[in-house]
Amino acid sequence: MNDTGFRPTHVTPLDGMPTWDGPDPSEPSALLDPVLPVQVVETQGDWARVLCANNWSAWVDGRLLVALPDGPPGTDRPQARTPDPRPLLAQLERTLTAYRQLVEQLAAGTIDLQAFRERSVGLRVGVIVDGESAWLLDLEHDRWWYCHDTQLQTFATVEAPPGVHGAAAAASEGEH
């Protein structure tokens, strides 16, 4: 995704994590920021050597890393930017609201599990918010966006499962 070939495979936990110079707890090093994208380049038991975007590497407790899905096809395309995340945030909110309403209906007993399953087909939403930064899944354009302040930048493209767009669009239209 950039000139160095850095491709994150994991992110650090929400509270960050300590690092070590080697796979040995007696060699402490620096702390990694929360939700920092890293690339695991080597493992030894529970230890993982991670590479950061700035080419700095260190050893961490690999059990604490949060795995990212494998890089989807097309992630090497030039990154697109858009100045305004609000339309995507509104769509994500509508999808999450539709899902929440289905969960409430199921919990209240107004629909059964089969109806819940049928009505939730195609509802997909992905959002991670960490302070001023966010990761937003945009199924209309098949990509994850990285949002910092008011700027969106393509992080990776995705391939939706067959039929998801049609089902998601139908569910979204049914709300209006």
- Based on the fold, state whether residues 130 and 55 are members of the same structural domain: no
Taking the model in full, what pTM does it have? 0.46
Residue 39 lies in a domain: yes
Portion of the chain with pLDDT greater than 90, in percent: 34
State the chain's mean pLDDT as an integer.
78
Domain housing 87: 81-173
Look at residue 164 and tell me whether its pLDDT is greater than 70: no
Residue 4 lies in a domain: no
Residue 72 lies in a domain: no
- Average of pLDDT values for 113-120? 94
What is the count of structural domains for the chain?
A: 2
Q: In what order do the strands lie in the sheet with 66-67?
A: 28-32, 17-20, 57-61, 47-51, 37-44, 10-11, 66-67
